Structure 1
Amino acid sequence: MPIYDSSSESDNEITPRGKLFGRQRPMHAILGGGKVADVLLWRNPKVSAALLTGVTTIWFLFEVVEYNFVTLLCHISITAMLAIFIWCISADYFGWKRPTIPQLLSDQAAFSEVVYFFHWRFNQFLQKLLHIAGGNDPVNFFLVIISLYVLSVIGSCFDFVNLLFIGLVSMETLPYLYTRYEDEVDYHAGQMTRKGSKVYKRFLNKIPRGTVKEKKHS
């Protein structure tokens, strides 16, 4: 059964089939394409799962165990050095292969792509913000002001680590969930947009307007 059904609307209007936020490009292209988009959209499940597990582990150590950053960094370094030391001694004794830096960590192109992605998104954000702040889009100007205020209220309820953790988890889950349930999300978003537009028009119609007096010519 299709999710678009115009018969369910009392005014017989068809819900817009436009994409969320009016996007024209695929989600993979919006996220910058390449390896970063593949990770965020879970096209490489092992890397995505490892990243999510690592972020969750760091959050758990800082917020639940209440590790100090310097202490945690020293303990991780000590554990890593001990593991490498035992591995190297065992490799020399049993004739195994000595440990090497993982290719993902030593690949300069991978790091350059990640840095480029965040730099590109940051530039887009600044350009859009300057465009809106310059008075070119009054509706979005007030929406941004309200959104920033709501975000500031939410941020006051969490510390920085928790807020950063929520943001990183959202980045790695929301795009994937949206691409999986894209039709349903676009449909309901279209319904909400249309209903919001109707409420806004009714609000404007209720605003009293003064009568225009005709000038009398002597």
Structure 2
Amino acid sequence: MASRLRASDNGTATKVKLFGRGQRSIHDALGGGKAADLLLWRKKRVAGAVLAGVAVVWYLFEVVEYNFITLLCHVLITSMLALFIWSTAANFFQWTPPNIPKTVLKESTFTEVASTFHSKFNQILSELLRVACGNEPKLFFLGLISLWILGVIGNYISTLNLLFFSILCAETLPFLYEQYEEEADNLAGKLYKQMRSTYRKVEADVLAKIPRGPVKEKKET
């Protein structure tokens, strides 16, 4: 979400910084940890492997129409057969046997992922609740319109496609933004000024004409 612009009466505005990050770098805005390194392709092999794995899973479920349980069983069967052949061949040809770790995924990995998800979810939820209470009328109407558009799109896109598209955007948009930050900020500034101008017209032509009841003054105690 773009950070707010402090616009003056003559229409001038400060520069937009996307993701509401102020003067922070995009890496810090994304959390600054391993997740940020992954989204910004600081480790290209890992990020590429994740994106390729997600693409393969999407292809198997959406195009081949694999069932999840069937796919999981076939993957486990293939892995067990590969390890069995490797271990048998290693004993026969005096090769190095497969090194099977006692712990495949460390507990800290799950803790870090869960902590990041918990923090971001609470941040988004608190922001939605604040907007829903009427503290930000502009964001309130923008949120309603966005949710309505998503609801319409949801009728034509499956959950799997939407999930794949979201992961694809998460793996590409932050990286592209970091590469073309100046151009993206300038474009966001122009879009914000245009949206602000449109909202002012709607406010003057529609919202200002809505009749409102008398405001009761609070009694001083």
Indicate whether the TM-score tops 0.5: yes
Is 2:134–2:140's contact at 8 Å kept on the other side of the alignment? yes
Question: Taking structure 1 as reference, are residues 23 and 106 closer, same or farther at Cα in structure 2, changes over 3 Å only?
Answer: closer
CA distance in 1, matches of 2:157, 2:201: 38
Q: Which amino acid aligns with 2:65?
A: E
Which piece of structure 1 moves more, 117-126 or 49-58? 117-126
Structure 1: state its 5+ residue gaps.
1-11, 210-218
Is 2:41–2:47's contact at 8 Å kept on the other side of the alignment? yes
Is 1:31–1:37's contact at 8 Å kept on the other side of the alignment? yes
Partner of 2:48: 49
Equivalent residue runs for 1:30-179 within 5 Å: 30-93=29-92, 94-101=94-101, 105-179=104-178
4+ residue runs of structure 1 moved beyond 3 angstroms? 12-16, 199-209
Question: Taking structure 1 as reference, are residues 45 and 22 closer, same or farther at Cα in structure 2, changes over 3 Å only?
Answer: same
CA distance in 1, matches of 2:162, 2:102: 30
CA distance in 1, matches of 2:142, 2:156: 22
Partner of 1:184: 183
CA distance in 1, matches of 2:56, 2:144: 34
What is the aligned-residue identity percentage? Answer: 46
Partner of 2:197: 198
Question: Taking structure 1 as reference, are residues 205 and 134 closer, same or farther at Cα in structure 2, changes over 3 Å only?
Answer: closer
Question: Taking structure 1 as reference, are residues 34 and 187 closer, same or farther at Cα in structure 2, changes over 3 Å only?
Answer: same
Is 1:52–1:169's contact at 8 Å kept on the other side of the alignment? yes
Partner of 2:18: 20
Find the residue that maps to 1:106 and give its secondary structure: coil
Which piece of structure 1 moves more, 38-47 or 198-207? 198-207
Shift in Å at residue 101 of structure 1?
3.5
Is 1:15–1:191's contact at 8 Å kept on the other side of the alignment? no
Shift in Å at residue 206 of structure 1?
5.2
Higher relative contact order (CA 8 A, sep 6+): 1
Q: Can you list the C-alpha shifts for 1:161-205, whole angstroms capped at 9, x where unaligned?
A: 111111111111111111111110000110121233233334555
Is 2:61–2:67's contact at 8 Å kept on the other side of the alignment? yes
Q: Which has the higher helix share?
A: 1
Q: Which amino acid aligns with 1:188?
A: L
Which piece of structure 1 moves more, 89-98 or 188-197? 89-98
Q: CA RMSD in A?
A: 2.3
Number of corresponding residues: 197
Find the residue that maps to 1:32 and give its secondary structure: coil
CA distance in 2, matches of 1:143, 1:70: 40
CA distance in 2, matches of 1:79, 1:174: 35
Which piece of structure 1 moves more, 109-118 or 35-44? 109-118
Which piece of structure 1 moves more, 83-92 or 52-61? 83-92
> Normalised by the size of structure 2, how large is the TM-score?
0.80
Structure 2: state its 5+ residue gaps.
1-9, 210-221
Is 1:40–1:48's contact at 8 Å kept on the other side of the alignment? yes
Find the residue that maps to 1:76 and give its secondary structure: helix
Shift in Å at residue 91 of structure 1?
2.5
Find the residue that maps to 1:136 and give its secondary structure: coil
